[in-house]
Amino acid sequence: MILKPVYIVFGVSGSGKTTIGNVLAKELDIPFFDADDFHPQSNIQKMSDGYSLDDNDRTPWLSILTDQIKNWHQDKGAVLACSALKIKYREKLESFNSDLIHWIFLDGDYDLILSRLKERKGHFFQSELLTSQFDVLEKPTKGISIKVNQSTTHMVTEIKSKLNVQKSQIGLFGLGVMGKSLAKNILSNNFSLSVYNRHIKEKEVDVAKNFADELTVKPKPFDDLQLFVESLQQPRIIMLMISAGPVIDQVVKDLLPFLNTGDCILDGGNSHYKDTIRREKLLSIEGISFLGVGISGGEEGALKGPSIMPGGTRKGYEQCSNFLEAIAAKDKGNKACCSYIGSEGSGHFVKMIHNGIEYGEMQLLAEIYHLLRHYLEKKPSEIEKIFTSWRTRNKDSYLLEITTDILLKKEGSGYLIDKILDKADQKGTGSWSSISALKTGVPFSTISEAVMVRFLSAKKDERIKASNIYNYEISISSENKAFLLKQLEEAYYAASIINHAIGFDSLKQTSLEYDWNLNLSEIARIWTNGCIIRSDLMEKMAVLLSNDNDTSVLLFPEIVDTMNSHISKLTFVVSNGLQIGCALPVLSAASNYFLNYTSAQMSANMIQAQRDYFGAHKYQRIDKKEGEYFHTDWKN
Ligand code: 6PG
């Protein structure tokens, strides 16, 4: 059983024990008791008759109180107002468990307390007995002392600060890499914080305590769930920083018995938006807000300011907005890269699409690196120079920046990148975004292709086998090499624009499906800093979309100008790259998407004819009204 602390406010009569004890108990959300209420009748009578109590009188009273204290430890804890003037009385009161008793001495001089007592009415203690109380009082050797010549609020605040029992504004659950970084960020923004990490024998022991010990500004550490929840100000804000999946349901279930109506749980992981929709509905029945909070920026972002995408009820968001906006990255205008996304699981949906765009951008850079390294035979340091030059020409991005760092990383005399196994892992968000696009019917070419490439990369053994079986001759003239090299920068930029257009298009379409009313320019704005896909291009997106939330990205006049001058470079790189045997799946997907998107005539007339041929699925005609369907007997 977990024992709770008991706070004993003590001092002579008239020092304010009942007033202070009551307010303190209310703020700590635990019961208040007055020791005078536990006196045997004989003691009350004696005091009313004007006699002071002797030690014999106090013995049964102290025994009653000691028993009560034991019960309170086992229940919710308590605040007790008690004179406890002598050390031996105090020793008796703490005899069950002295570690769990907090002594709070109310220290006032005789004249002040006498004047207070004279103003009191209806109290059985007579002010004349004050002198004897001061004679008996043995000043405390432990606990804290509070001067009584201050306001009640001031005294209670001082008590809480001296005892370190102030309730925390925020609770953070889960101290993995991201959780720890976010906790430091929250503390550096001057929020009081409680942190929780589970206890697993021999595996996760004292994680929260050890973390707090490392820091100068410390959070309150817990490995007991109830105490963690009780350490938080109400209504509570609890941020979960744990892996996505069924574990979130389990944690919510474990937390629920300790929560109250109005509390708010934030899921800061990469949960599937449909799980978030379900959890939000379930918790709203209990009167608890559940926000699905997409957080991007990795470990460094969590520490210095991530991009934050919160979805759920607006009321829930408003409860947490000043905290979330304080810890978020800031855009160029110093506005927080955090904004209310919309209802239900929209925050996690937007984070999922962020990750989809991230997959596309990563693969684009990987493909271009691969082409340069293995087909145009450039050294990593030469590729770094090429990429760095792009950064200076309005194509800077966080992903381009880290790619240049990666290219320069050496291990011994060689480059580390050359030693990394070419099998890409994934945690799920890229695949989820593709599945969701398939379900909604959104063309998702670059992103789903980037997911497929990761899957194909995992078939390493089979690829090695196939590479030994197939032997195709590949050559490229040095003039062609030089020409290909020249087209790369613009080809990359065009593909990147297409990848972004695809991501924003899926936001727009899903927003309509769920009635989320997503503000695309605001989403682009909160993606301009803190997150993995922050870039010069994202800055441009935010501006373009702020003028028009509805137009497709590829139809903005400024983008049309860029694409008109860049598309031939993209198609040249793709066709020549393929010709020399270099797979360029996302560059190709981008080209094909764009060529089809900009075609008044696609190949789908043939698909419709084929469907009608074998399945009588019918087709529409260009020479008839839209919506009118026809079937042909194709064999006769
Ligand atoms: C971010 C990232 C992050 C993601 C990792 C790994 O925005 O900070 O998107 O949330 O988990 O990038 O994702 P994969 O393992 O699927 O590549």
Residue with tokens 């694409």: 563
pLDDT > 90? residue 457: yes
356-396 pLDDT tens trace = 999 999 999 999 999 999 999 999 999 999 999 999 999 99
- Using DSSP's 3-state secondary structure scheme, residue 260 falls into coil
Which of 111-115, 173-177, 579-583 is the most confident on average? 173-177
302-352 pLDDT, tens per residue? 999 999 999 999 999 999 999 999 999 999 999 999 999 999 999 999 999
Task: Give me the percent of the chain exceeding a pLDDT of 90.
Answer: 85
Please report the pLDDT score of residue 18 as a whole number: 95
Whether 181 lines ligand 1, by a CB cut-off of 6 Å, is no
User: SS3 for 402?
Assistant: helix
Residue 478 has pLDDT above 90, yes or no: no
Region 553-563 average pLDDT: 98
Query: What pLDDT does 166 receive?
Result: 77
Which member of 358, 449, 489, 490 is catalytic? 358
Q: Which of 532, 533, 534, 535 to mutate to test the pocket of ligand 1 (most atoms within 8 A of CB)?
A: 532
Summarised one tens digit per residue, pLDDT across range 394-446 is: 999 999 999 999 999 999 999 999 999 999 999 999 999 999 999 999 999 99
- Structure confidence at residue 143 as a pLDDT band (50, 70, 90): very high
What integer pLDDT is reported at residue 401 of this predicted model?
98
- Distant-in-sequence, close-in-space partners of 495: CB < 8 Å, separation ≥ 6: 364, 446, 570, 586, 587, 590, 591
C-beta of 298 in contact with ligand 1 (< 6 A): yes
Ligand 1 atom 10 nearest Cα: 296
Q: Is the CB of 297 under 6 A from ligand 1?
A: yes
Torsions phi, psi of 308, nearest 5? -125, 130
Q: For residue 241, give the nearest of 287, 196, 285, 205 by alpha carbon.
A: 196
Higher pLDDT, 87 or 164: 87
Region 482-500: what's the mean pLDDT? 97
Sequence-ordered alpha helix ranges (H) in 216-256: 225-230, 246-255
Given 167, 184, 220, 351, the catalytic residue: 351
Q: Is residue 358 annotated as a catalytic residue, yes or no?
A: yes
Residue 1 has pLDDT above 70, yes or no: no
Burial code (b: 16+ CB inside 10 Å, e: under 16) for 597-633 equals beeeeeeeeeeeeeebeeeeeebeeeeeeeeeeeeee
Whole-number Å distance, alpha carbon 355 to ligand 1 midpoint, is 6
Among residues 187, 163, 300, 204, the alpha carbon closest in space to that of 239 is found at 187
**Ligand 1 probe mutation, 242, 267, 270, most atoms within 8 A of CB:** 270
Banded model confidence at residue 280, pLDDT cuts 50, 70, 90: very high
Which pLDDT belongs to residue 124? 54
Q: Is 296 in the pocket of ligand 1 (CB under 6 A)?
A: yes
pLDDT digits (tens, 9 = 90+) for 593-630: 999 999 999 999 999 999 999 999 999 999 999 999 99
| pLDDT per position as a tens digit, 108-128 | 999 889 888 877 765 555 666
pLDDT confidence of residue 235: 92
Residue type (1 letter), 410: K
Check whether 201 has a pLDDT greater than 70: yes
For 459, residues 6+ apart whose C-beta sits below 8 A from its C-beta are none
Dig out the tokens for 359 from the structure: 């997959």
Q: For position 117, what pLDDT does the model report? A: 80
Q: What is the pLDDT of residue 609?
A: 98
Q: Is 351 in the active site?
A: yes
Q: Which residues contact 577 (CB under 8 A, 6 or more apart)?
A: 371, 375, 484, 584, 587
Average pLDDT rounded to a whole number, residues 289-294: 98
Q: What is the mean pLDDT of residues 15-31?
A: 93
Q: What is the pLDDT of residues 47-86, one digit of tens each?
A: 888 787 888 999 999 999 999 999 999 888 999 999 999 9
Q: Could you tell me which residues come within 8 angstroms of residue 83 by beta carbon, excluding any fewer than 6 positions away?
A: 10, 11, 12, 13, 17, 35, 133
Global pTM exceeds 0.85: no
Binned at pLDDT 50, 70 and 90, residue 2 comes out as low
Domains of the chain: 6-163 (3.40.50.300), 170-344 (3.40.50.720), 351-593 (1.10.1040.10), 603-636 (1.20.5.320)
Q: Cβ distance 634 to 606 under 8 Å?
A: no
Where do the DSSP E strands lie in 15-166? Answer: 32-34, 78-81, 101-107, 144-147
Asked whether the predicted pLDDT for residue 258 surpasses 90, the reply is yes
Interval 459-486 mean pLDDT: 90
φ, ψ of residue 499 in degrees (nearest 5): -60, -40
Cβ–ligand 1 contact at 588 (below 6 Å): no
| Mean pLDDT of the 544-558 span | 93
pLDDT at 221 over 60: yes
What is the per-residue pLDDT for 51?
81
In angstroms, the CA 590 to CA 586 distance is 6
Cβ proximity of 125 and 47 under 8 Å: yes
Q: What is the pLDDT of residues 53-64, one digit of tens each?
A: 888 999 999 999
**pLDDT at residue 133, as a whole number:** 85
Report d(CA 252, CA 256) in Å as an integer: 6
The answer to whether the CB of 328 is under 6 A from ligand 1 is no
